Amino acid sequence: MSGSLFGQRGFMDKTTALILVLVVLVCGALYVYLTMEFGEESGPPNPAIHPLRFESLADNEAFERWEGVLACGPSGQWQPFERAREVYVGHDLIGVERRESDRLLSIISETGGIPAKLDFVFEYWRGAVRNGHVVLEGWYTEGSNDVKVISMEGELGDGRLSLEGRRGPRTCTFVAER
């Protein structure tokens, strides 16, 4: 009985059971790795292969400036907030550029990427517009040097932009009108 795992008749020996447990653990870890979404934890994207345009929209006459409100829910000990944001709206692209986003663009052009930490405050959003549907992502620093991810979706039409999603750890909405 010393070599059997399940009684006298034996179902499997200890070595076989150990190998089976290891195979299950390795397969489970591989499944988790292959199915996990690579979002904020994997770091910012490489602009060289990323489909968004990494350039300032501030002086581009193809974009209108709309006023909007970003409203975000609580996060841990932090209270919800609302903040005004100016958004650049074009035919197939929208964007927000705030504070020192020009420094971010300079770093992207020099290094080809977005560092995980930056020692200045910025907010930079880009959203692709297809048939009125907007898929937006962006990055910002606030409260720490960690670069945090913004990810929202919504609709653009009839002079109104409406988005919802995440800004770092918070659930947020953004509404702007022409």
Mean pLDDT of successive 10-residue segments in the chain (178 residues)? Answer: 52 71 63 44 42 68 92 93 94 90 88 89 92 92 91 95 95 96
d(CA 57, CA 96): 8
Q: What is the pLDDT of residue 111?
A: 85
Report pLDDT for 12: 64
State the pTM of this model: 0.67
Question: What does 116-169 look like in DSSP terms, one character per residue?
Answer: SB-SS-EEEEEEEEETTEEEEEEEE--SSSB-EEEEEEEEEETTEEEEEEEETT
Residue 38: per-residue pLDDT: 38
